Amino acid sequence: MLNRPSKTLARLVGASLVIGVAMTGAKAQEFINVLTGGTSGVYYPLGVALSEIYGEGIEGSRTQVQATKASVENLNLLQQGRGEIGFSLGDSLVMGWEGDEQAGFREPLTKLRRIAAIYPNYIQLVSTADSGITTLEDLRGKTLSVGAPASGTELNTRAILEAAGMTYEDLGQVQYLPFAESVELMKNRQLNATLQSAGLGVASIQDLATTNPTTVVEIPADLVESIGAPYAPGVIPAGTYQGQEADVQTATVVNYLVTHEDVSEETAYQMTKLLFENLDRMVSSHAAASAIALENAVDENPVPLHPGAERYYREQGLIQ
């Protein structure tokens, strides 16, 4: 009688050991959180496409898309390990790496690692036709939405205004709003203009231009050149938005996909590889992805490449 409990215990221990060995042999599930931006911007649909590509292509993975305030928030979340891959503007990425407190980074984000340079953002300054704003100088005394506070768009706004010899104090009123909210105020004549840093054909401006007469305001090439890298002159082609009959000069800033050092080399390798093997699906999600090209993926940037991404680029002959 006294031996029965010990035999039962032995059987339970043995069963537990078998289960433990089986679980040890099983592959752990890979969780990939894709950090994007507001749902009316370009980052979000591209992030949705990425999550689907990774969910199908990375064995054992479970993916999620997180809408955020974009660049600055994404980089801070990556530093904290609260995302595996995210979108960021190039200037925000440099400021995060350096720890620019005024830009929203309390300390250098030393865990960040690059996956790829992707497509350029176009800094798109759009006003309502009845506001009379047709040049940067016309913004003085007018109401302008500059993007969410400390977002990549807001950092772009500050840079453009500074190059034009202005600060927020020269404006009539500053609104810190995401893209869609800015457009709603403009439709209701409560806001004169919005600056949106995004891929061409961003949904929010498309929506505005189809319902209200608008002006796409020029940001001259010489002004952009005075700011310097990572800003570069660009053109918003005629017809990008309804009623836009001519090309408009503006500024561009390259976007990046970014991860962090705690993501495994194999996962980062697969994220990089699958991106470039599925560019058709990325373009289907938003036309801005048509500018993503393997030959432009590796550029000069102080943030190191993730070893997994570097391995892929070596295989492709981009790095010797």
**Mean pLDDT of the region 140-159:** 92
Lowest mean pLDDT among 4-8, 135-139, 176-180: 4-8
Judged against a pLDDT cut of 80, whether residue 1 lies above it is answered with no
Which of 2-6, 193-197, 204-208 has the lowest average pLDDT?
A: 2-6
Cα–Cα distance list, 74 to 94, 112, 166, 310 (Å): 13, 11, 28, 22
Question: What are the pLDDT digits (tens) for 70-102?
Answer: 999 999 999 999 999 999 999 999 999 999 998
Over the stretch 54-71, which tens digit does the pLDDT of each residue have?
A: 999 999 999 999 999 999
Tell me the C-alpha distance between 132 and 67, whole Å.
34
Locus of tokens 């029965």: 4
79 contacts 49 by C-beta, under 8 angstroms: no
Percent of the chain with pLDDT over 90: 83
pLDDT above 90 for 29: no
Cβ neighbours of residue 316 under 8 Å, at least 6 residues apart?
294
pLDDT digit string (tens) for 265-299?
999 999 999 999 999 999 999 999 999 999 999 99
Q: Tell me the DSSP string of the chain.
A: -THHHHHHHHHHHHHHHHHHHHHHHSPPPEEEEEE---TTSSHHHHHHHHHHHHHHHSTTEEEEEE--S-HHHHHHHHHTTS-SEEEEEHHHHHHHHHT-GGGT-SS--TTEEEEEEEEEEEEEEEEEGGGT--SGGGGTTSEEE--STT-HHHHHHHHHHHHTT--GGGSSEEE---HHHHHHHHHTTS-SEEEEEESTT-HHHHHHHHHS-EEEE---HHHHHHH-TTEEEEEE-TTSSTT--S-EEEEEEEEEEEEETTS-HHHHHHHHHHHHHTHHHHHHH-GGGGG--GGGSS---SSPBPHHHHHHHHHTTS--
Are 246 and 225 in contact by the 8 Å Cβ rule? The answer is no
Instruction: Identify residue 194 by its one-letter amino acid code.
Output: T
Does the structure show a pLDDT above 80 at 222?
yes
Question: Is the pLDDT assigned to residue 14 strictly greater than 50?
Answer: no
Residue 26 has pLDDT above 50, yes or no: no
Q: What confidence category does residue 229 fall into, taking pLDDT thresholds of 50, 70 and 90?
A: confident
Average pLDDT over residues 30-44: 93
pLDDT at 15: 44
Q: How far is CA 107 from the centre of its chain?
A: 20
Which carries the bigger pLDDT value, residue 24 or residue 120?
Answer: 120
Average pLDDT (102-127) is 96
Which of 246, 198, 250 minimizes the C-alpha distance to 224? 250
Given the structure tokens 């390798």, which residue do they identify? 269
Identify whether the C-beta of residue 147 lies closer than 8 Å to the C-beta of residue 157: yes
- Work out the percent of the chain whose per-residue pLDDT is above 70: 91
Query: Is the per-residue pLDDT at 198 higher than 70?
Result: yes
Confidence of residue 28 (pLDDT cuts 50, 70, 90): low
Any residues with CB less than 8 A from the CB of 45 and at least 6 apart, and which? Answer: 285, 286
**Mean pLDDT of the region 96-109:** 95
Q: What pLDDT score was predicted for residue 148? A: 83
Please provide the average confidence, as pLDDT, over all residues in the chain: 91
